[in-house]
Structure 1
Amino acid sequence: MKSPISSSPEIPQSNRFSQIAAWLKHYAGETRTRILLLYALTMLLVVGISTPIFRFFLFSEVDKRVRADLLEELEEFQEEYKEWEATTASNREALVEFLDNFLANDIPEDDNFHIIILDGELYRSNPVTLPEIIDSNSDLMKKWRRLQNSIEITVQVADPIVGSLVYKSYVLEVDGAPVGLFVAVHLSAGERTEALAAVFVFIRVAIGVVMVSFLLAWFNSRQLLRPVQNLVETAQNINETNLSGRLKVTGSGELAALANAFNTMMDRVQNAFDSQRNFINDAGHELRTPITIIQGHLELMENDPEEQQATLNLVMDELDRMGRFVSDLILLAK
Structure 2
Amino acid sequence: MTRTKFRRGWRLFTVRGWILTAVIGLAALAMFTAGYTAYLIQDLRVEARVDDELRASAEEFRLLAESGVDPATGEPLGSPTDLVRVATGRQVPGSNGGVLGIVDGRIVYTSSVAPLDLRADPEFENHLRPLTDQDEPVLETLQTAQTTYRVAVIPAHDGQDGGEQAALALAYDLDAEKRAFSEIFWVYAAVSAGSLGVVALVGWAVAGRLLRPVRVLADSARRIGREDLSERIPVTGEDDLAEMTRSVNEMLERLDGAFAAQRQLVNDVSHELRTPLTVISGHLQVMDTADEADVREARDLTLDEVHRMNRVIDDLLTLATAEHPQFLRPGPTDAEALTEEIFEKVTGLGGRSFSFESHARGPVVVDRQRVTQAVLQLAANAVKFSGPGSTIVMGSRAVGDGIDLWVRDEGPGIREEDRERIFERFGRAEPSKPGAGLGLPIVAAIAQAHGGEVRCTSEVGKGSTFALWLPRSGPGVVAAD
Judge same fold: TM > 0.5, yes or no: yes
Moved more, 48-57 or 285-294: 48-57
Counterpart residue type for residue 139 of structure 2: E
Q: Closer, same or farther in 2 for the Cα pair 1:134/1:70, shift >3 Å?
A: farther
1:139 to 104, 126, 136: 126
Structure 1 position 191, deviation (Å): 1.8
Structure with bigger gyration radius: 2
> Which of 60, 68, 71 is residue 44 of structure 2 equivalent to?
60
CA-CA distance at 1:207 after TM superposition: 3.8
Change (3 A) 1:178 1:56: farther
| Distance in structure 1 (CA, Å) of the matches to 2:221 and 2:19 | 24
CA distance in 1, matches of 2:156, 2:299: 142
Contact 2:273–2:309 (Cα < 8 Å) also in 1: no
Measure the CA separation in 2 of the matches of 1:150 and 1:203.
Answer: 40
Select the residue among 44, 53, 74 that pairs with 2:58. Answer: 74
Which piece of structure 1 moves more, 35-44 or 270-279?
35-44
What is the match of residue 247 of structure 2? 261
Instruction: Give 1:110's aligned amino acid.
Output: S
Determine which of 247, 255, 264 is the counterpart of 1:278.
264
Give RMSD over aligned pairs: 4.6
Task: Say yes or no: does 1:240 pair with 2:226.
Answer: yes
Paired residue type of 1:117: I
Change in Cα spacing, 1:56 to 1:97, as seen in structure 2 (3 Å) is closer
What residue is the counterpart of 1:228 in the other structure? 214
CA contact (8 A) 2:99 2:110 kept: yes
Match of 1:130 among 118, 123, 127: 118
1:159-178 pair list within 5 angstroms: 159=145, 161-163=146-148, 165-172=149-156
Range with greater deviation from structure 2 (237-246 or 170-179): 170-179
1:153 aligns with 2:137: no
Shift of 1:243: 1.6
| Aligned counterpart, 2:20 | 36
Give ranges in structure 2 of 5+ residues lacking alignment. 322-481
Correspondence 1:212-227 to 2 at 5 A: 212-227=198-213
**Secondary structure of the residue that 1:243 maps to in structure 2?**
coil
Is the contact made by 1:84 and 1:98 (CA closer than 8 Å) also made in structure 2? no
Deviations 1:224-258 (A, max 9, x none): 01111121122122123432222334444532332
Give distance in 1, aligned partners of 2:244 and 2:176: 60
Other-structure match for 1:11: none
Residue type of the partner of 1:217? G
- Given that 1:153 and 1:167 are in contact with CA atoms closer than 8 Å, whether structure 2 keeps it comes out as yes
CA contact (8 A) 1:70 1:184 kept: yes
Report SS of the residue matched to 1:28: coil
Partners of 2:235 and 2:242 within 8 A in 1: yes
Counterparts of 2:139 and 2:98 in 1: how far apart (Å)? 15
Q: Secondary structure at the match of 2:226?
A: coil
1:285–1:119 CA distance, 2 compared to 1 (3 A) = closer
Contact 1:290–1:319, Cα closer than 8 Å, also in 2: yes
- Cα separation, 1, equivalents of 2:255 and 2:195: 48
TM-score (norm. length: structure 1):
0.69
Q: TM-score, normalised by structure 2?
A: 0.51
Deviation at 1:273, TM superposition (A): 1.8
SS in 1 for 2:68: helix
2:273 pairs with 1:287: yes
Bigger RCO (CA 8 Å, 6+ sep): 1
- 1:25-70 CA distance string (max 9 Å, x none): 5972321102322443455566667776555433222211211222
Aligned equivalents of 2:153, 2:217: Cα separation in 1: 77
Tell me the CA shift for residue 153 of structure 1. Answer: 1.9
Alpha-carbon distance between aligned partners in 2 of 1:134 and 1:236, rounded to the nearest angstrom: 79
**Could you tell me whether the CA contact under 8 Å between 2:20 and 2:207 is conserved in 1?**
no
The residue identity in structure 2 corresponding to 1:192 is K
State whether structure 2 residue 102 is matched by structure 1 residue 117: yes
Aligned partners of 2:151 and 2:170 also within 8 Å: yes
Q: Which residue of 1 aligns with 2:439?
A: none
Q: Report the CA distance between 1:97 and its aligned residue.
A: 8.8
Give the match for residue 16 of structure 1.
none
* Number of aligned residues: 305
Separation in 2, partners of 1:73, 1:188:
17
Q: Which has the higher helix share?
A: 1
Conserved? CA contact 2:100–2:107, under 8 Å: yes
Matching residue within 68, 78, 90 for 2:76: 90
> In the alignment, is the contact (CA less than 8 A) between 1:152 and 1:167 conserved in 2?
yes
Q: In structure 1, how many angstroms separate the alpha carbons of the residues matched to 2:228 and 2:129?
A: 97
Q: Percent identity of the aligned residues?
A: 21
- Structure 2 SS opposite 1:186: strand
Q: 1:279 to 1:330 in 2, by over 3 A?
A: closer
Q: Deviations over 1:157-192 (max 9, x none)?
A: 141x312x2222334466898652222111212123
Distance 1:251 1:131, change over 3 A: farther
Does 79-88 or 124-133 show the bigger shift? 79-88
Q: Quick one: distance in 2 between partners of 1:95 and 1:131?
A: 19
Report the Cα distance in structure 2 between the residues aligned to 1:197 and 1:204, rounded to whole angstroms: 11
Gaps of 5+ in 1: 1-20
**Closer/same/farther in 2, CA of residues 282 and 180 from structure 1, 3 Å limit:** same
What is the CA–CA distance in structure 2 between the aligned matches of 1:42 and 1:97, rounded to whole Å? 59
**Counterparts of 1:69 and 1:313 in 2: how far apart (Å)?**
122
